[in-house]
Amino acid sequence: MDRLAGQIGASDGRLYRSTEPHERRVVDTGDGHRLYVEECGNPEGRPVIVLHGGPGGGCSPYMRRFFDPGHYRVVLFDQRGCGRSRPAASVEGNTTSDLVRDIERIRTVLGIETALLFGGSWGATLALAYAQAHPDHVAGLILRGVFLGRRTELDWFYGGGAGRFFPDLWDRFCEPIPEPERDDMIAAYHRRLFSDDLGQQGRFAMPWLMWENALAGLQNSATGHAPPEYARAFARLENHYFANGCFLDEGQLLRDRHLIEHLPAVIVQGRYDMVCPPLSAYELAQGWEKCDLRLVPASGHALSEPRISAELVRIMDAIRDDDRRDAGQEG
């Protein structure tokens, strides 16, 4: 979940200026995928790995702007099958475990010992999965719009729960699917997104994408059209993961939380997030002593919601200031 950050209700008030990467590379996974990876900011700075949403959303220049470029070494990459990674829209060898291995490969290739993980929506899911698999290489987690990959969360968004608040948009999402198939919208779209007809894939990719986009922002949502190839990659990858339960055991990320409870975490959650309702963030934070849950008023799901953006920058600046104090530097 969570696509094209920066298009929905963006506010530039607290964001850092846009910077260009000082390094771009392609990391070969060894099993047919090639990952686009970029680094921004201070090459000697505090490492932070940014995990984009989707699955299938890809990283964007907007995601670079939450970090003081003089302090942070910011690593962004396009996950398998999306963005500038190749092959595009491929679901072969594309599971959560594969993505966790990709993060570990990138960390090793870049010579990073430990890193902060910064991820929202599906990026929060992936941050938790990686941290639980490799806690010794994680310095802390900054999560936004928490999605835990559970059946209840998928049922909320694709089973009509969110549609009770947006009945007109839900009808538009359901319209392309024959009524007898509407009891399982993920499966119905899966049959069409993975048909042998590329034209059919494209026709069903756009309504899949637009349903999520329309609910992402509390006030201003991106409801226009996206480039067809982007829509196809996003819809296929996201549907592939959701049709397979995100390749996680049911409740796995909560079950294994004890593996990371020694790590500091901050969760920024929109109070009115209709894509990933606050219950998941609340359940994740309960009993986690080092986890700070911040419920942001008058805010939805998108990374670019003004109050969400401001809170994330505030958190990253506070971590920077703590680092400077620890190093005996001036603020």
Q: Are 38 and 76 in contact (CB under 8 A)?
A: yes
Q: 301 an active-site residue? A: yes
Are 41 and 111 found together in one domain?
A: yes
Of 85, 301, 304, 309, the catalytic one is 301
pLDDT of residue 224: 57
pLDDT > 70: percent of the chain:
94
- Tell how far CA 61 is from the center of its chain: 15
Judged by DSSP in three states, 280 sits in helix
Average model confidence (pLDDT) for the chain? 94
Residue 221 has pLDDT above 50, yes or no: yes
Q: Is residue 4 very low, low, confident or very high in pLDDT (cuts 50, 70, 90)?
A: very low
Of 273, 280, 299, 309, the catalytic one is 273
- Which element (helix H / strand E) includes 51? strand 46-51
User: What is the average pLDDT across 222-226?
Assistant: 63
Listed in sequence order, the residues at least 6 apart from 289 whose beta carbon sits closer than 8 Å to its beta carbon are 261
CATH code assigned at 87: 3.40.50.1820
Q: Which of 214, 245, 276 is the last residue of a domain?
A: 245
Contacts 24+ apart (CB under 8 A), 126-130: 126/51, 126/79, 126/96, 126/99, 126/100, 127/51, 128/253, 128/260, 128/284, 129/96, 129/99, 129/100, 129/248, 129/253, 130/51, 130/99, 130/100, 130/103, 130/104
pLDDT of residue 3: 53
Q: 90 an active-site residue? A: no
Q: Which of 184, 211, 245 is the last residue of a domain?
A: 245
The helix-helix angle for 151-158 and 185-193 (nearest 10°) equals 80
User: What is the average pLDDT across 314-328?
Assistant: 96
| Domain span including residue 90 | 23-150+246-326
pLDDT of residue 203: 96
Q: Are 51 and 59 in contact (CB under 8 A)?
A: no
Q: Which of 226, 245, 264 is the last residue of a domain?
A: 245
User: What is the average pLDDT across 136-158?
Assistant: 98
Residue 11 has pLDDT above 70, yes or no: no
Are 134 and 240 found together in one domain?
A: no
Torsion of CA 214, 219, 220, 225, to 10 degrees: 10
Domain count, the chain: 2
* 143 is a domain residue: yes
Of 121, 221, 280, 304, the catalytic one is 121
Residue 219 has pLDDT above 90, yes or no: no
Here the tokens at position 223 are 């409801």
Instruction: Report how far residue 157's alpha carbon sits from residue 172's, in angstroms, rounded to the nearest whole number.
Output: 14
- Which element (helix H / strand E) includes 73? strand 72-77
Q: Give the number of other Cβ atoms within 10 Å of residue 68's Cβ.
A: 18
- Tell how far CA 307 is from the center of its chain: 18
Are 254 and 213 found together in one domain?
A: no
* 31 is a domain residue: yes
**pLDDT, tens digit, 9 for 90 and up, residues 78-121:** 999 999 999 999 999 999 999 999 999 999 999 999 999 999 99
Q: Is residue 1 very low, low, confident or very high in pLDDT (cuts 50, 70, 90)?
A: confident
Residue 274 has pLDDT above 90, yes or no: yes
Are 142 and 41 found together in one domain?
A: yes
Q: 22 an active-site residue? A: no
Residue 266 has pLDDT above 70, yes or no: yes
Q: Give the number of other Cβ atoms within 10 Å of residue 159's Cβ.
A: 16
